[in-house]
Amino acid sequence: MTGVGFAAGATEVGEVRIEVRAVNGRALSLRSRVSSACAPFEAAIEEQVRARLQRGTVTVIVELKAGGALLPDASLLRKVAAELQALAKELGLAPPSLVEVVQLANSGSRGDAVTARALPPQFLALVHAALDDLQAHREKDGCSTVAAIEQQLAEFAGHVQAASQRAPQLSEAYRERLLQRVQEFLASHTTGPVPAIDLVREVAIYTDRVDVAEELQRLTAHLVEIRAVLARGGEVGRRLEFLLQELLRETNTLGSKSPDTTMAHTAVAMKSCIDRMKEQVANLE
């Protein structure tokens, strides 16, 4: 979401320079700093920005270059002058001077005249050029970010593969160890034989609690979906944030269910990958 776009050129109000800066943000937050001569178009500029961007903290700076036109739009001046002349005639006062008309038009005191005006064609084209430049920078940075995420996905998938290979062995070894200990306990604390079927059933129920096959399956499915989202492109930030939350949830369950130290270390490495991916996803729109 980070980037900066520039555009400068002649417009209906004179030589204008437009700068659009964007940094990371969960939603779209827009700030603007517009010169007084361009103030009537501030709302229209904001509308154009919101139509092009969805996330990030965006700052728009619009400056009238030195030597540019110092007068407001001619049609605005005519309207202000006509109204002032009519009022002066009604009150029996001297007609307003050109300086007074210009000062009133520039002051912003006539809100209906200086705000919420549509962008004239040249000014609109300049706004689009600045936004195009910003998008180009963001897309370039986005490609680098996606490459970094894919690298972390590959590392994460390697950990999932290692956990998938170790999980069945751990489940079987844990079942045998638990069964042996239960048998030893029963031999030293009971006088009569315990039905084998009851013993096996209880051990199987407890052993299922440490089975992580479903978690590994869901982790693999989430990885497939993340790669598909990145491949589709477009607005991917919020979707990826949700999927990473799901990865973290399944990874936490994986680590808490497994009694094996090696599996616990694998879960820690997986969470480190997720943290790094979260940092990268924060840069995507």
Q: Percent of the chain at pLDDT above 70?
A: 78
Q: What is the mean predicted confidence (pLDDT) over 136-154?
A: 88
Q: Residue 260 corresponds to which amino acid?
A: D
pTM (predicted TM-score): 0.58
Q: What is the mean pLDDT of the chain?
A: 81
- Based on the fold, state whether residues 163 and 222 are members of the same structural domain: yes
- Based on the fold, state whether residues 96 and 194 are members of the same structural domain: no
DSSP for residue 116 = S
pLDDT the model gives residue 110: 43
- Based on the fold, state whether residues 155 and 245 are members of the same structural domain: yes
- Based on the fold, state whether residues 46 and 103 are members of the same structural domain: no
Parallel/antiparallel/unpaired status of strands 3-11 and 56-64: unpaired
- Based on the fold, state whether residues 263 and 193 are members of the same structural domain: yes
Does 113 have pLDDT greater than 50? no
| Most confident of the ranges 32-41, 58-67, 182-191, 239-248 | 239-248
Please tell me the total count of domains within the chain: 3
- Based on the fold, state whether residues 45 and 148 are members of the same structural domain: no
- Based on the fold, state whether residues 102 and 42 are members of the same structural domain: no
- Based on the fold, state whether residues 144 and 189 are members of the same structural domain: yes
Residue 173: pLDDT band (50, 70, 90) is low
* Domain end among 91, 108, 132: 132
Q: How far is residue 69's CA from residue 77's CA, in Å, rounded to a whole number? A: 13
Does 184 have pLDDT greater than 50? yes
- Based on the fold, state whether residues 152 and 114 are members of the same structural domain: no
The domain containing residue 37 runs over which residues? 3-70+120-132
Does 21 have pLDDT greater than 80? yes
Q: Which residue has the tokens 């969805």?
A: 54
- CATH assignment of the domain containing 33: 3.30.230
- Based on the fold, state whether residues 65 and 75 are members of the same structural domain: no
Q: What is the mean predicted confidence (pLDDT) over 128-152?
A: 89
- Based on the fold, state whether residues 104 and 197 are members of the same structural domain: no
Q: How far is residue 242's CA from residue 225's CA, in Å, rounded to a whole number? A: 11
- CATH assignment of the domain containing 275: 1.20.140
DSSP for residue 37 = G
Parallel/antiparallel/unpaired status of strands 56-64 and 14-23: antiparallel
Residue 189: pLDDT band (50, 70, 90) is low
* Domain end among 88, 111, 132: 132
Q: How many helical (H) and strand (E) elements, i.e. helices and strands, does the chain have?
A: 9, 4
Angle at 6 between CA 29 and CA 127, to 5 degrees: 70
- Based on the fold, state whether residues 145 and 76 are members of the same structural domain: no
